Amino acid sequence: SPEKVIAFCEEKRRRGLKLSWEANIHATYCTKPMLEAMKGAGCRQINVGCESGSQSILNDMKKGLKLEQIENVFAWARDVGIERRAFFLIGMPNESEEDMHKTEALVERIQPEVFGVTIICPYPGCDLYNSETMRDYDWSKTDEYSNPYWRTKYLTNAELHQWQERLTTRFSHSLAWHNRVLQQQQSEDGARS
């Protein structure tokens, strides 16, 4: 809760602890006073699971997150001087080309200092895992960056990878380190072809 975060920040300042830090936050539970307290206590970056720019896809995720909340958090953090990292996850079962364009537009609006995008990887045990159709996946070659299997109702696996590449290219000035590594590997693979 914002109250607990603010209490933590006040205690950190009261003790004179100068160590800078960053935090993963859920935009639904964030307030501007909370971010102000975090900045005053040495927080240098927030990491926000934005996931999608499509409200219908956010609803499918059952995360309880609204686009307006994401936009508010990124505006507030910019105002108080905290860097902002945005995590996006593509490939929800009902995700379409239109949803992908909405995600791209949201990234453009919030302008995060650090941007990352992954593809859903339904590991055994998660809600999207299907033991009948996925039991033969080679999990040693599958992760949320290079998933060769996953597709949506409207997008093939190749199209998801094209969108991942499109987004990492478009926002290459602010890529998270793992997306930079992936982009470099793709570039090297293209040069070898």
Which pairing describes strands 21-25 and 43-51: parallel, antiparallel, or unpaired? Answer: parallel
The residue among 168, 48, 60 whose CA lies nearest residue 110 is 48
Q: Tell me which amino acid residue 13 is.
A: R
Please report which confidence band the pLDDT of residue 25 belongs to, taking 50, 70 and 90 as the band edges.
very high
Average pLDDT over residues 37-50: 98
Q: Would the pLDDT of 71 be above 90?
A: yes
pTM, whole model, 2 decimals? Answer: 0.88
pLDDT more than 70, % of the chain: 94
Sign of CA dihedral 28, 33, 38, 39: positive
Alpha helices for the chain (secondary structure H) = 2-14, 32-40, 55-61, 67-80, 97-110, 131-134, 157-170, 177-192
What's the longest Cα–Cα distance across the chain? 59
Average pLDDT over residues 148-167: 94
> What's the pLDDT tens digit per position in 86-143?
999 999 999 999 999 999 999 999 999 999 999 998 888 889 988 888 888 887 877 8
Q: Please tell me the distance from the alpha carbon of residue 183 to that of residue 164, in angstroms, as a whole number.
A: 10
